[in-house]
């Protein structure tokens, strides 16, 4: 098998914690270079920018964009124009419309554009989807609360326009929701809490539904201390199905029926290798559309300033 030579662009926490190890563990993938202004990896060719990488770097087939979403569109366009396959960390961009030209570029160039939703690859997401399809759903509640100081320490970009704030983790829940439910959902109301010194929300409450009126609520909060909460609860005519630990554990009426080790990022790269082999793309924007609608519909409340 010819290896897919991948350059990571943006070498922050998520790239170091997840992407490097995932690439090393996936047959058919190899880490060929890194582009980052602030960090490097011993033994791996390093460049300051994606432009320098494309001009002066070693031969690569693909780039994995792990930079903040505010700059990803231009980087993706440069890579596609240079004939490279592109993987986008979530969220794929700062808006929905900016993805359309990238999709068109990828199609014309016969190159892969992969908008990743790593939480969809949590081990119990597919078992949950399969279980729910045969049941009548009564209600859904998402409880997604974590400590931003633990998961995004010193990452000022997340509080800027386009950084999404609490929707950076919240979109993970929405990516699972849009995978496991049998029908498309949409936002009907939202309430967003903005710190007085930030441009993105620190907490959000959403009301959603589907075409049949299924009641769906979501609570997102970046201020959680102590135990963290990444749970989706679905009431059905055959009991309560719970996805916990971000989709790792599935239980029905409290009994665990699915639990396995986390290989989310390895699954992303396995899929990326397969897509790149044929130049196919995978760009599902449903989770991003829900976030965009939450901003459109959301009532905005100003809360105390956030100090990292």
Q: Is there a domain that residue 277 lies in? A: no
Residue at 189 is within a domain: yes
Asked if the structure places residue 140 within a domain, the reply is: yes
Q: How are beta strands 229-236 and 137-145 bridged, if at all?
A: antiparallel
Question: Strands 255-259, 4-9: parallel, antiparallel or unpaired by DSSP?
Answer: unpaired
> What is the count of structural domains for the chain?
2
Does any domain span residue 285?
no
Do 20 and 106 sit in the same domain of this protein? Answer: yes
Partnered with residue 187 across adjacent β-strands are 208
Q: Looking at the structure, do residues 109 and 191 belong to the same domain, yes or no?
A: no
How far apart are alpha carbons 42 and 26 in whole angstroms?
20
Are 65 and 152 within one domain? no
User: With helix as H, strand as E and coil as C, how does 258-290 read?
Assistant: EECCCCHHHHHHHHHHHHHHHCCCECCCHHHHH
pLDDT-derived band at 262 (thresholds 50, 70, 90) equals: confident
Instruction: Say how far apart CA 139 and CA 290 lie, in whole Å.
Output: 18
Q: Is residue 271 situated within a structural domain?
A: no
Between 21 and 39, the more confident residue is 21
Instruction: Name, in order, each residue with C-beta under 8 angstroms of 28's C-beta and a sequence gap of 6 or more.
Output: 1, 2, 3, 4, 273
Q: Is the per-residue pLDDT at 1 higher than 70?
A: no
CATH of the domain at 125: 3.30.360.10
**Catalytic pick from 13, 90, 110, 299?**
90
- Same domain assignment for residues 140 and 172: yes
Domain of residue 108, CATH code: 3.40.50.720
Q: Are residues 38 and 67 in the same domain?
A: yes
27-49: pLDDT as tens digits:
999 999 999 998 889 999 999 99
275 is a domain residue:
no
Residue 268 pLDDT: 97
* Model pLDDT, residue 166: 98
Q: Are 118 and 172 within 8 A, CB to CB?
A: yes
308: in domain: no
pLDDT of 91-146, one tens digit each? 999 999 999 999 999 999 999 999 999 999 999 999 999 999 999 999 999 999 99
Segments of the chain assigned E as strands: 4-9, 29-35, 46-47, 62-65, 85-88, 113-115, 137-145, 185-195, 203-210, 216-221, 229-236, 239-244, 249-252, 255-259, 298-303
How far is the C-alpha of 81 from the C-alpha of 111, rounded, in Å?
10
Q: If 0-12 CB within 10 Å is exposed, 13-18 middle and 19+ buried, where does residue 129 land?
A: middle
Among residues 115, 145, 170, which one ends one of the domains?
115
Which neighbouring-strand residues pair with 302?
Answer: 194
- Looking at the fold, whether 106 and 138 belong to one and the same domain comes out as no
Whether residue 95 is found in the same domain as residue 180: no
**Distance separating alpha carbons of residues 153 and 59, to the nearest angstrom:** 34
Q: Is 90 a catalytic residue?
A: yes
Of 115, 142, 157, the position where a domain reaches its end is 115
Asked, for residue 167, whether it belongs to a domain, the answer is yes
pLDDT tens sequence across 200-251:
999 999 999 999 999 999 999 999 999 999 999 999 999 999 999 999 999 9
| Domain extent at residue 258 | 119-263+292-303
Helix (H, G, I), strand (E, B) or coil at 117: coil
């Amino acid at each position: 098998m010819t290896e897919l030579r991948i350059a990571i662009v943006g070498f922050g926490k998520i790239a170091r914690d997840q992407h490097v190890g995932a690439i090393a563990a996936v047959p058919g993938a190899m880490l060929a270079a890194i582009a980052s202004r602030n960090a490097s990896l011993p033994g791996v060719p390093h460049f300051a920018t994606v432009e320098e990488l494309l001009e002066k770097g070693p031969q690569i087939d693909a780039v994995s964009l792990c930079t903040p979403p505010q700059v990803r569109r231009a980087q993706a366009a440069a890579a596609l124009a240079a004939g490279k396959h592109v993987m986008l960390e979530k969220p794929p961009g700062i808006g929905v419309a900016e993805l359309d030209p990238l999709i068109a570029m990828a199609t014309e160039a016969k190159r892969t554009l992969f908008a990743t939703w790593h939480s969809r690859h949590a081990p119990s997401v597919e078992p949950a989807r399969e279980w729910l399809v045969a049941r009548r759903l009564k209600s859904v509640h998402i409880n997604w609360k974590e400590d931003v100081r633990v998961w995004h320490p010193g990452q000022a970009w997340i509080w800027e326009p386009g950084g999404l704030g609490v929707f950076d983790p919240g979109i993970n829940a929405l990516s699972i929701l849009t995978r496991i439910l049998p029908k498309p959902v949409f936002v009907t109301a939202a309430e967003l809490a903005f710190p007085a010194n930030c441009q993105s929300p620190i907490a959000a409450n959403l009301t959603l539904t589907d075409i049949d009126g299924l009641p769906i609520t979501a609570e997102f909060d970046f201020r959680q201390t102590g135990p963290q909460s990444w749970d989706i609860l679905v009431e059905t005519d055959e009991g309560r199905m719970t996805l916990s630990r971000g989709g790792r554990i599935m239980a029905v009426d409290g009994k665990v029926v699915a639990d396995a080790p986390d290989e989310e990022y390895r699954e992303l790269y396995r899929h990326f290798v397969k897509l790149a082999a044929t130049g196919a793309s995978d760009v599902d924007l449903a989770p991003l559309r829900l976030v965009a609608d939450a901003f459109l519909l959301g009532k905005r409340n100003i809360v105390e300033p956030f100090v990292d």
